[in-house]
Each structure stands twice: as structure tokens, then as C-alpha cells.
Amino acid sequence: MKTAIIILSDPKAGDEALGRMFNGLALAAEAIQQGDETEIIFTGAGTRWPETLSSPAHPAHGLYQTVLPVVAGACNHCAIVFGAEDALKSCGLQPIKDNALAGTHGLASIRRYLVEGWQTLVF
């Protein structure tokens, strides 16, 4: 199976956002363990998560470190809009801009996963 996990929740949005992100990463960890081809994409306000999760003090830091090898990157335009561009660079994540939508700096294409038959979930 191919599993694409889109993290859209905003770390500034409280407990529900934390739960959504955690469940997305937990699904990724389970998929990896089962041998699924897995990718995690941070988009929208979710581009703020990698900086937060990089802190060893964060309760999901260990889980994030487990799934980090399958993090494809973060939406370039979203990172710019949500002020996460520099933080993502410092975390070593690649900007994704394979959807050259007019008026943007390039977005992450979610449609690509659908076309390629990935099970695509949004958290």
C-alpha cells in the first residue's frame, strides 16, 4: 500500500490540532512498520509543525524522529504565507512546489498522490 499523510493542522490551534498531528504521525509510523510506501507532507498552517516537533521537549518529538525519514517536505507557498520558511530550512526540510499554481510560489501537489493511487489522508 502507498500512504500519503497530509498534515494541515496548526500547532497554534490547541489540543485538537495536537491530536490530529499526533494521529497522522502515528499512522505513518504504523504504515512504515507494515512496509507501506509512506510520505508525510506538511501544508497550510501545518508547515509550522516541524519546528515545534524538532524540540526534544515536545511530547511528540520521539514519534517525529521515527517518521522523519518519510517526511517528503512542506508546501513552499504555505511555508511562506504562514511564516515557516526559515524554520523549515533550519530543520532541513525541502520545499515542495510541484503545483505551479498562478499567483503562488509553488504548492505541494496533493492531486499527484491521488493520480498515483496513494491512500491520501488529511490531518
Is residue 78 within 8 Å of 43, Cβ to Cβ?
A: yes
Low-confidence ranges of the chain (pLDDT < 50): none
Per-residue confidence (pLDDT) for residue 100, from 0 to 100: 95
Domains of the chain: 2-122 (3.40.1260.10)
DSSP states of the chain: -EEEEEE---GGG-HHHHHHHHHHHHHHHHHHHTT-EEEEEE-GGGGGHHHHHTSTTSTTHHHHHHHGGGEEEEEHHHHHHTT-HHHHHHHTPPEE--B--TTSS-B--SHHHHHTT-EEEE-
Q: Full-prediction pTM beyond 0.85? A: yes
Can you give the pLDDT at residue 26? 98
Q: What is the pLDDT of residues 1-24, one digit of tens each?
A: 999 999 999 999 999 999 999 999
Structure confidence at residue 88 (pLDDT): 94
Count the neighbouring beta carbons within 10 Å of the beta carbon of residue 103. 5
